[in-house]
Amino acid sequence: MVRHGETAWSRTGQHTGRTDIPLTERGRTQAHCVGEMLRDHLFDLVLTSPLSRAATTALLAGFGRGVVACEDLREWDYGDYEGRTTAEIRRKVPGWTVWTHPCPGGETAEAVGARADRVIKIVRAAGGLVALFGHGHQLRVLAARWCGLAPNDGRLLSLDPATVSVLGYEHETSVIRRWNEPCAEGASAPGVSRD
């Protein structure tokens, strides 16, 4: 699983659900760096959120042809809280978090969890190595669901931009093999291609 590179809103902590924000220049560099991290892996399936910040990360990481847009990998719909920071929301709703409070006009944790479950079904049916390019909250929910936890248990898993996480198995148990592994940005090499 790859969280997309930096955007202007991820840098400032604004909730970015359905708004299609592009990568910053740093985010583009990070995407190339992620490509270096993944270059030795041959994926049987590559899925991306259709939002440009994730799709561009996949493209710049060297995954062009064959990448499949997956609606269920879209970020959490924050409704009325789109574009707002947690601090701004807490001025009106003390103690608010996306994990414990509703997003008026947006999605519930359970709805995001149902989308994650559908992605997991696709991943398991692929029967091989799968790469997912997505978003912070959605991927945290997906990891929780992979491990059989409730969607809001994603709150226990911090996830930074342009990081790689690996879900897998220990025997027949679904586990997190690696989490939130950053790339070494200076090691990126633009032009990596897997077309």
Residues annotated as catalytic are: 4, 75
The answer to whether residues 2 and 135 touch, using CB atoms and an 8 Å cutoff, is no
3-state DSSP helix/strand/coil % of the chain, to nearest 5 = 40, 15, 45
Looking only at the bridges linking them, the beta strands covering 163-170 and 173-182 are: antiparallel
Give me the amino acid identity at 94: P
The answer to whether residues 116 and 174 touch, using CB atoms and an 8 Å cutoff, is no
CA distance 169 to 153: 19
Buried/exposed code over 104-128 (b: 16+ C-beta within 10 A; e: otherwise): eebbebeebbebbeebbebbeeeee
Q: In what order do the strands lie in the sheet with 45-48?
A: 67-69, 45-48, 130-134, 2-3, 163-170, 173-182
Which among 16, 65, 75, 27 has a CA at the least distance from the CA of 43? Answer: 65
